[in-house]
Chains A and B, each alone.
Chain A
């Protein structure tokens, strides 16, 4: 008998006035004592819902609608509240998605440890301090309030708290999402050591493929509420059984490799509020045959594990569309479109966000700014767009000194430099249509009439790959997927025919399987339209894919810069090496 046995588990969301959605559909799996299992899937696939169901923490309108979760002989789905309460944390504990908000903001960290011990009738003694030491935190943290800790420290506290009662099973739901790579690396390393030392079993839920493949002994892949593949991590890295896993793994590559090519999976997941027939991946699958549309495949033994695919024995057709990391031109020709010279930006209180940074942007070339949060990337973007003025140094657009622009002239300059934001959900006004969002810059900057703007808006949508445009013009943002929204944001940025495009982490909020698609679009736009692009990211792989030149930023200074291949494959500066070493290494 395994430690955790999940059988035929279904979870349904029944919104008060909406169609029920079966987010988790007859899922079965085991986790053995001491095993480290990864659960990989994209947003909306049901992985977090599954995690909450295993802990029986689902809130209305979600509820378990079938199946059992048996932990160590006790059925959690039917256990009485008091039985469950005494099991919780003592035997099953958890670390939530980015623990930013999982600590009570108005009581100290120490009080939250005490709470936990007290609830289980345990004398705390010096346990809390010992637990913090285990995750390399000073006992002084016990007297702190959560808001006084950094994101990484909070996550360490959450991990220490999860181990407080020596549980046999820990569910980790995106435990390091949103943290800087270097911090993430140190937390994951510590987690793995502790797991080996203390021997607890782990279910590790994440969309971060590299991390899951590196950490887990066994990996399950979830798609549209079902598990589609379940294999030892090593076997999965070598040969994926399901075309979707193939697509996902194809979207990851080591940026240091000599030749890289990543793939993406076109299309989007099915709408689970509808009745599903056949294979749920069929619409996006490169190997689809007629049977896939009518016959729902079962999760059956295949390779070294299980797979849910009718074509599992057929030779694999490379999934999706490949985007080659192309060889870049190392030298730029002609005068720069934008010249940044020795720029310094000080903020009130004496913090120096940017310290003597210089670079050029050339037409048709992509320059990547790589660095962790707080390194000054976003401040530089603000200086380039004229939102902030440099304290020292200059930003020149042709003959114009951007830092000296005011009022009408600044407005005129903004036509030439446009932004693509990180969060496509927040970047579009939820109450206005795509057509309206696109027509504003056309009318404001180019002075087009309403009719002309409408026509141009349609053209723009086709340019960013939303064709036929008529299908999208009258849509509201919430009717589009994340990828489609980001395309609209890009189209809006293209509207006033800018010379410069500043893209601030444009793919970090998107699903892994479609990131390459957006990168390909940005790449094409820069080359075809001769746009000078400043690509801001913390992700070295995407920088390698897209950029001609990379600048590595640390504490406001450029510590290393040069042609992409040189910087990433033959990094010289210690900080660049640190960033590269922090990358996950799939087994």
Chain B
């Protein structure tokens, strides 16, 4: 129990530090969003009228006052879930925009991550169980090969082959122009159709790391004294592979998986850009290139919280799965 409490305390402290850094960093950067907007509006001329700038500041609600007061306002706003108005998608609020994009990203990447992890771990375990057999060579060599392919290249090949040449699946976007988002069957099947190619690209590359990690861990655990002794005890091969191999070898992978889940929000920029998918990754790219501070800040905070929560989850899971960790912390 103490172990979990300590982990939770650590989680809370890091979260606070992250929120504070998230507040400070944009304020330490040079440049002013209002000026950026004005110069964009006035195009080439670059003549900035101070009155205009002031007007835009008012409209955007650029905070004034000293840093400490700003910090106080910021904290209470964050707690209330109020991140202000997006500069890019004006007049929508940041919260609204994130609510729009979040389901797309979470469903696409979340599902593919889980499937990749499960498939990768199973394949890796199978390869280790049949070590040095043909199955092992096929799995190991195959995944190493796929692992060397650049992701964007793979994605472009998929678009070219299935999107343009064969025309099986739509090549971009989250849903077709004809359907509008809603809980209808038509929209759902349309969205699924659109998600096939991005999901496929993620599923091809996704399991590689899990396969290799699992195989190598398990080959090692099966070589340990306890696995050898299990063999000497006359346990069946299956039993040894599961309880004395996979059960122990999967531990580092579980941690890796929890951390990978945290990276979902931040790690989707590439796939969503390539497939023009309406998720958070693409939104982040937009926000950064438009100096959309409120949206950027909120997204970064989201990513940070995601990573921290995932780390916390990993620690908790590890504590449940590995009795040694619980023991050490309690001692």
Q: Which residues of B contact A107 (CB under 8 A)?
A: 243, 247
Quick one: which of B223, B232, B233, B248 contacts A105, CB cutoff 8 A?
A: B248
Q: Would A116 and B243 count as touching, CB distance under 8 A?
A: no
CB distance from A120 to the nearest CB of B (A): 6
Contact stretch, chosen from A80-88, A264-272, A316-324: A80-88
Per-residue contact bits, chain B 12-34, to A (CB 8 Å; 1 contact, 0 not): 00000000000000000000000
Bound Cα distance from A124 to B233, whole angstroms: 15
Q: A106-B248, A106-B321, A148-B327 are in contact. Are A119 and B235 (CB under 8 A)?
A: yes
CB distance from B148 to the nearest CB of A (A): 24
Bound Cα distance from A107 to B226, whole angstroms: 11
State the majority secondary structure of interface residues on B. helix
Residue B96, interface by CB 8 Å: no
- Closest residue on chain B to residue A81 by CB atoms: B237
Residue B244, interface by CB 8 Å: yes
Contact stretch, chosen from A96-104, A460-468, A531-539: A96-104
Of residues 199 through 249 on chain B, the ones whose CB sits less than 8 Å from some CB of chain A are 223-226, 228-236, 239, 243-244, 247-248
Q: Would B228 and A105 count as touching, CB distance under 8 A?
A: no
Q: Would B327 and A145 count as touching, CB distance under 8 A?
A: yes
Q: Would A120 and B234 count as touching, CB distance under 8 A?
A: yes
- Closest residue on chain A to residue B231 by CB atoms: A57
Q: A59-B223, A101-B224, A106-B321 are in contact. Are A116 and B235 (CB under 8 A)?
A: yes
CB distance from A202 to the nearest CB of B (A): 15
Q: Would B234 and A85 count as touching, CB distance under 8 A?
A: yes
Q: A106-B321, A107-B243, A147-B327 are in contact. Are A101 and B232 (CB under 8 A)?
A: no
Q: A115-B233, A119-B239, A120-B234 are in contact. Are A101 and B226 (CB under 8 A)?
A: yes
CB distance from A149 to the nearest CB of B (A): 11
Q: Would A147 and B324 count as touching, CB distance under 8 A?
A: yes
A-B pairs under 8 A by CB, number: 79
- Closest residue on chain B to residue A111 by CB atoms: B243
- Closest residue on chain A to residue B131 by CB atoms: A60
Q: Which residues of A contact B327 (CB under 8 A)?
A: 145, 147-148
Q: Which of B132, B228, B248 has the most CB of A within 10 A?
A: B228
Residue B100, interface by CB 8 Å: no
Q: Which residues of A contact B232 (CB under 8 A)?
A: 55, 57, 88-89, 92-94
Q: Which residues of A contact B231 (CB under 8 A)?
A: 57, 88
Q: Which of A85, A106, A107, A116 has the most CB of B within 10 A?
A: A106
How many A residues, CB 8 Å from partner? 31
Bound Cα distance from A145 to B232, whole angstroms: 21
Bound Cα distance from A88 to B229, whole angstroms: 10
Residue B322, interface by CB 8 Å: yes
Q: Would B323 and A115 count as touching, CB distance under 8 A?
A: no
Q: Would A105 and B234 count as touching, CB distance under 8 A?
A: no
Bound Cα distance from A104 to B231, whole angstroms: 12
- Closest residue on chain B to residue A148 by CB atoms: B327
Of residues 45 through 72 on chain A, the ones whose CB sits less than 8 Å from some CB of chain B are 55, 57, 59-60
- Closest residue on chain B to residue A60 by CB atoms: B132
Q: Which residues of A contact B230 (CB under 8 A)?
A: 104, 115
Residue A90, interface by CB 8 Å: yes
Q: Would B323 and A147 count as touching, CB distance under 8 A?
A: yes
CB distance from B152 to the nearest CB of A (A): 37
Bound Cα distance from A104 to B235, whole angstroms: 13
Q: A104-B243, A105-B324, A119-B239 are in contact. Are A94 and B234 (CB under 8 A)?
A: no
Q: Which residues of A contact B228 (CB under 8 A)?
A: 57, 59, 96, 102
Per-residue contact bits, chain B 279-293, to A (CB 8 Å; 1 contact, 0 not): 000000000000000
Bound Cα distance from A161 to B234, whole angstroms: 12
Bound Cα distance from A104 to B230, whole angstroms: 9
- 21 residue pairs A–B, Cβ–Cβ below 8 Å: A60-B132, A88-B231, A94-B229, A96-B225, A97-B225, A101-B224, A103-B226, A104-B226, A104-B244, A104-B248, A105-B226, A115-B230, A115-B239, A116-B234, A116-B235, A119-B233, A119-B234, A119-B239, A120-B234, A147-B323, A147-B324
- Told that A102-B228, A116-B234 touch, could you supply 19 new A-B pairs with CB distance under 8 A? A59-B228, A60-B132, A85-B234, A85-B236, A88-B231, A90-B234, A93-B232, A94-B229, A94-B232, A96-B225, A96-B228, A97-B225, A104-B226, A105-B323, A106-B251, A107-B243, A115-B239, A119-B239, A148-B327
Q: Which residues of A contact B (CB under 8 A)?
A: 55, 57, 59-60, 85-90, 92-94, 96-97, 99, 101-107, 115-116, 119-120, 145, 147-148, 161
For the complex of A and B, 6 pairs with smallest distance between CB atoms: A88-B234, A145-B323, A102-B225, A101-B225, A119-B235, A102-B229
